Amino acid sequence: MTGRLYGVGLGPGDPELVTVKAARLICAADVVAFHSARHGRSVARGLAEPYLRAGQVEELLVYPVTTETTDHPGGYQGAIDEFYEAAAARLAAHLDAGRDVVVLAEGDPFFYGSYMHMHKRLAHRYPTEVVPGVTSVSGASAVLGRPLVERDEVLTVLPGTLPTEELAAWLETADSAAVMKLGRTFPAVRDAFAVAGVLDRAWYVERATTDRERVLPLADVDPDSVPYFSLALLPSELTGPGNDAPDLAVPAAAHGEAREPLHHAPGAEDGAGAPLPQGPGAAPGSVTVVGLGPGARWWTTPEAVAALAEADDLVGYGPYLDRVAANPRQVKHPSDNRVEAERAAAALAMARTGRRVAVVSSGDPGVFAMAAAVLEVAAADFPDVPVRVLPGITAAQAVASRIGAPLGHDFCILSLSDVLKPFDVVLDRLRHAAQADLVIAIYNPRSKARPQQLFDAREALLEVRSADTVVVVGRDVGGPEESVTVTTLGDLDPGTVDMRCLVMIGSTQTRVTPSGQVYTSRTYPG
């Protein structure tokens, strides 16, 4: 028995326009899938969130391109088609395992919706049901307070991506029309209304039915303010006079400037604005080294979340992999923290077979973490395997943010670990950094195998720095046992520090405010 595929429409934006059936299916599903641009934010998921439950698998389907250019050999369409095939394969893995999959779509799934591309690839293979939703055209008409058509009139729905001349020809003969896919197409769309001689009775509706909706005569709209999640309406002449504004039941704030869009999907109703510029997605047979940040879930970047979502295999130190939500489609490969080279080789070997592999690090993968190990092994033994590195918030940044701005001036980062370098080199670097009057963020300060080294490091620092030097000790920052302590170099007790700590040694310009915050002045004397 396979799972069942559902394409579920969520309506145009008002949470109360989600149907009872849609809510029931979302709650019951084993897997909930939704699209986004590479910024990782999805309006569809936001609408569905009240109906999600603990334990569900979420599949984030991130478009590789939206409005930007691509170097894909098949061009824009080639990149999109390849993405749809890969996304369908991810959902098929769940369906084959007997899991029911709900694919979320704003508006109606079959009305310029992203879901239809999954439907075309999967509906002939699995039992499928499509749950209709209120379209954006219906929502905009309701917000405008104007019927679209009467009696024998015909409603024409047009994409704003048509050439201006073709769009104008349609508008000249239309009883009533809705033009979708605005955003960057808006100037040409407005020109088409003008050429057709109907600009004076056309309306613009943005983010209909949400608390951010905006309604204006089409002729009065600033083109630079138009997001993708908007449309132009040409109501029937039978339904009322031109621009004599109806009594619009919209919030007062709706007529102000719209905020930045949340989501954009190419050729889909469930988009809203241009994406943030991002790098390419993972190709089949590649390794992506991902930084989760220092602990708290909200410190993991959307780009990292997207990379984890598209991976087939997750490789990393066991406790770090535990921070990634379980997805039965994926295989986790945990290992000990002292086998970085072996872990990197295993990930690269899997990628060579065509797997998308994410190597997981805490913090930033390029700071005392897995990025260098993967690149070093790849250079030696796997030069044919593509490797990309995605940044993460470092432990130093996290600790600094919790206490103020101790990294406000020049600083350095050092590790006390002597596993890969002699400890006398560590002490020499510490002395030189202290002599340079840099703030020093110390990673790997003390472990059961190295109980004495932080004591020795403190003594080396006191040869150069005053005992009054400000010291910050952050422990498990972003985790359930978080604590941040401010002390001095003279009072620092290395015996209270372990591997879950980061120790920050201030410079001569590091200060503690009366409220207990720490900062380092951006201005240096001299």
1-22: pLDDT as tens digits: 899 999 999 999 999 999 999 9
| pLDDT mean over 284-301 | 90
Neighbouring residues of 95: CB distance < 8 A, sequence distance ≥ 6: 2, 3, 4, 5, 101, 122, 125, 126
Q: Give me the phi and psi of 501, to 5 degrees please.
A: -110, 155
Domains in the chain with CATH codes: 5-133 (3.40.1010.10), 146-246 (3.30.950.10), 286-393 (3.40.1010.10), 396-520 (3.30.950.10)
Neighbours of 435 (CB within 10 A): 11
pTM: predicted TM-score of the whole model, two decimal places:
0.73
What pLDDT is attached to residue 68? 65
β 230-234/31-36 pair status: unpaired
Name, in order, each residue with C-beta under 8 angstroms of 59's C-beta and a sequence gap of 6 or more. Answer: 31, 32, 33, 34, 90, 91, 94, 101, 309, 327, 329
The pLDDT of residue 480 is above 50? yes
Residue bearing tokens 């720490």: 518
The whole-number average pLDDT for the span 292-318 is 91
What's the chain's average pLDDT?
89
* Contact (CB, 8 A) for 54 and 39: no
Q: What is the pLDDT of residues 17-75, one digit of tens each?
A: 999 999 999 999 999 999 988 777 888 999 999 999 999 999 999 988 776 677 788 88
Residue type, 324: V
Q: What is the mean pLDDT of residues 499-503?
A: 93
Q: What is the mean pLDDT of residues 76-85?
A: 89
Name the E strands within 19-91.
Answer: 31-36, 57-62
pLDDT digits (tens, 9 = 90+) for 442-476: 999 998 888 999 999 999 999 999 999 999 999 99
- Average pLDDT on 422-426 reads 94
Q: What is the pLDDT of residue 281?
A: 63
Considering only CA atoms, which of 232, 44, 54, 248 is closest in space to residue 142?
248
In this prediction, residue 248 carries a pLDDT of: 45
Strand order in the sheet with 57-62: 57-62, 31-36, 101-105, 5-9, 128-131
Give residue 419's pLDDT.
86
